[in-house]
Chain A
Amino acid sequence: MRYLPLTANDRAEMLAAIGVDSIDALFDDVPEAARLAGPVDLPRAMGEIEVERLVSRMAARNVAAGSVPFFIGGGIYRHHLPAAVDHLIQRGEFLTSYTPYQPEISQGTLQCLFEFQTQVALLTGMEVANASLYDGATACAEAVMMANRVTGRRRAILSGGLHPHYREVCGTYARFVGFEVSAEEPLSGEDLPGLVDRDTSCVVVQNPDFFGEVRDYSGLAHICHDAGALLVVVVTEILSLGAILPPGEMGADIVVAEGQSLGNALNFGGPHVGLFATRDKFVRQMPGRLVGQTLDADGRRGWVLTLSTREQHIRRERATSNICTNSGLCALAFTMHLALLGEAGLTRLARLNHAAAVSLAERLEQLPGISLLNRTFFNEFAVRLPRCAAEIVEMLAGKGVLAGVPVSRFYPENDTLADLLLVAATELTTPEDIDRLEAGLREVLS
């Protein structure tokens, strides 16, 4: 097929073939009132030089994350990406790989995804992990649906500490798939153990939670299990598992996570990579692709997609999920980054993040009118400001400091959260960045 514009002759021939005089005649069925009277008012076509100039001017109005002191987190975190990650994933053999549809021919891709699964299982403290889902939020909704299948129940309880976007995605699935989610309000002093009953399929909690608090959910796991329900633990900052107890060791039945922090840039909020891990006994109810290691006819090690009978191309409408793909390239970047770090490097990086957040918290706490909400945190925490956090963030942005995420952005109707600000620090946060934020806050609050 040639991708060339039609000539006037081509058009005339086609119109003659269908027996109309003009292209406009094809729109006669559309009522006059619904038709445009004239051409749309758009600027005239531009030359390449003009377009480059225009777009550069527009781009210069962005405050790029790396160009200013940056304290934004809220589910996506800015970390250093080793140059080797980008180099490796841009190799032709990897870059063109999407989810494996003719999988066994791509042994390299399958081997990497197998390593990815192993890394995810080790990080989360679980027995089995899939080859990734789209992102943390959809993985969370998949976890709830899996818990429904395992328990034969249809009501999930979502903690108020769950990321509000995750909660919304679960709500969307619930509305159209037909199950129930009951979501607690944030910072409402929720009593999750008291809410679990014989109709509960799962309780979904986050660690560290949306406000950065690090918790131990071991007790809740016991209560869930006694009631025949599952505990789903969500992790939005996967790097935290380099420093805190993995959910698997707390008794979680399903762990889902956003893997962006390893290997992946902010990417304007996506594409990212959803992690999904569970217990061996639930593997047949698990969604997503799964790579297994095996031997070929000559006894050589090889990789295959396994337990595919769970999936849509075989199981049709009875599949465990209607998602039959994964985030191949983002998962690959995750694996490359984590392999480069190694276990010791991961722990060190996690400690660096925590140390940066601690020095940030110590400085902010000393400012008049600012108080820290958290008792514990990893690399992000919430502070209460003396007035509307969204306004203060705007004022600081004007001074070239991206101070964090105002909680009101997610809960505009909840006045009690209006003065809360989420602040994150990572290994990229410098002492000078913290100085700039502190000075900026002093100025706008005085």
Chain B
Amino acid sequence: MALLRFTRDHEWVRLDGDLAVVGITDYAQSQLGDVVYVELPEIGRRVEKGKEAAVVESVKAASEVYAPVAGEVAEVNDALAADPAKVNADPMGEGWFLKLRLADPKELDGLLDEAAYQQFVEEQP
């Protein structure tokens, strides 16, 4: 089972070989409502941990998606351009946003595991 971690900003990150796949959580998509557009970064861009990596736009709001860990953008999910609703339908699967080449894999250790994230979500008002 691949390593899966979460942030308090409701992003998930899953280790896939030497890449980290990033997306937003089921809770995040349910709060946003119907996603209508996703703005993805350019391949090769370096993103810092906690800084904006993408923008997700729903019928209600536009929100920044922050990089859970630092790294270089290796791949983005081009399929979201044509079908942004994948983010609602399958946020942890086909609705992924981007893949990062990790700058420092140890950064993953500082993030929440699934149980801790579930507890964090349950504490949300």
Asked whether B39 lies within 8 Å of A309 as measured between CB atoms, the reply is no
Which of B4-63 touch A at CB < 8 Å? 37, 39, 57, 61-62
Q: For residue B39, which residues in chain A have a CB less than 8 angstroms away from its CB?
A: 284
Q: For residue B61, which residues in chain A have a CB less than 8 angstroms away from its CB?
A: 309, 314
Question: How far, in angstroms, from A315 to B63 measured CA to CA in the complex?
Answer: 9
Question: How far, in angstroms, from A446 to B21 measured CA to CA in the complex?
Answer: 82
CB distance from B37 to the nearest CB of A (A): 7
A to B contact number (C-beta, < 8 Å):
9
Q: For residue A309, which residues in chain B have a CB less than 8 angstroms away from its CB?
A: 37, 57, 61-62
Question: How far, in angstroms, from A389 to B61 measured CA to CA in the complex?
Answer: 56
Count, chain A residues at interface, CB 8 A = 4
The chain A residue with its CB closest to the CB of B45 is: A152
Return the CB mask of B45-84 against A: 1 if under 8 Å, else 0. Answer: 0000000000001000110000000000000000000000
The chain B residue with its CB closest to the CB of A311 is: B62
Which of A185-215 touch B at CB < 8 Å? none
Q: For residue A315, which residues in chain B have a CB less than 8 angstroms away from its CB?
A: 62
Interface centre among A284, A309, A315, by most B CB within 10 Å?
A309
Which of A300-357 touch B at CB < 8 Å? 309, 314-315
Q: For residue B62, which residues in chain A have a CB less than 8 angstroms away from its CB?
A: 309, 314-315
CB distance from A396 to the nearest CB of B (A): 56
CB distance from B58 to the nearest CB of A (A): 8
CB distance from A160 to the nearest CB of B (A): 34
Q: For residue B37, which residues in chain A have a CB less than 8 angstroms away from its CB?
A: 284, 309
The chain A residue with its CB closest to the CB of B52 is: A318
Question: How far, in angstroms, from A309 to B37 measured CA to CA in the complex?
Answer: 10
Question: How far, in angstroms, from A309 to B61 measured CA to CA in the complex?
Answer: 6
Which of B80-121 touch A at CB < 8 Å? none
Question: How far, in angstroms, from A315 to B62 measured CA to CA in the complex?
Answer: 7
CB distance from B41 to the nearest CB of A (A): 11
Q: For residue A284, which residues in chain B have a CB less than 8 angstroms away from its CB?
A: 37, 39
Question: How far, in angstroms, from A197 to B57 measured CA to CA in the complex?
Answer: 33
Return the CB mask of A102-124 against B: 1 if under 8 Å, else 0. Answer: 00000000000000000000000
Question: How far, in angstroms, from A142 to B33 measured CA to CA in the complex?
Answer: 31
The chain A residue with its CB closest to the CB of B39 is: A284
Question: How far, in angstroms, from A284 to B57 measured CA to CA in the complex?
Answer: 11
Return the CB mask of A265-289 against B: 1 if under 8 Å, else 0. Answer: 0000000000000000000100000
Interface centre among B39, B61, B62, by most A CB within 10 Å?
B62
CB distance from B47 to the nearest CB of A (A): 14
Question: How far, in angstroms, from A315 to B61 measured CA to CA in the complex?
Answer: 8
Question: How far, in angstroms, from A314 to B39 measured CA to CA in the complex?
Answer: 16
A contact set with B: CB distance below 8 Å: 284, 309, 314-315
7 contacts between A and B (CB under 8 A): A284-B37, A284-B39, A309-B37, A309-B57, A314-B61, A314-B62, A315-B62
Q: 6 new A-B pairs (CB below 8 Å) besides A284-B39, A309-B37, A314-B61?
A: A284-B37, A309-B57, A309-B61, A309-B62, A314-B62, A315-B62
Q: Give 4 nearest A-B pairs by CB, closest first.
A: A309-B62, A309-B57, A315-B62, A314-B62
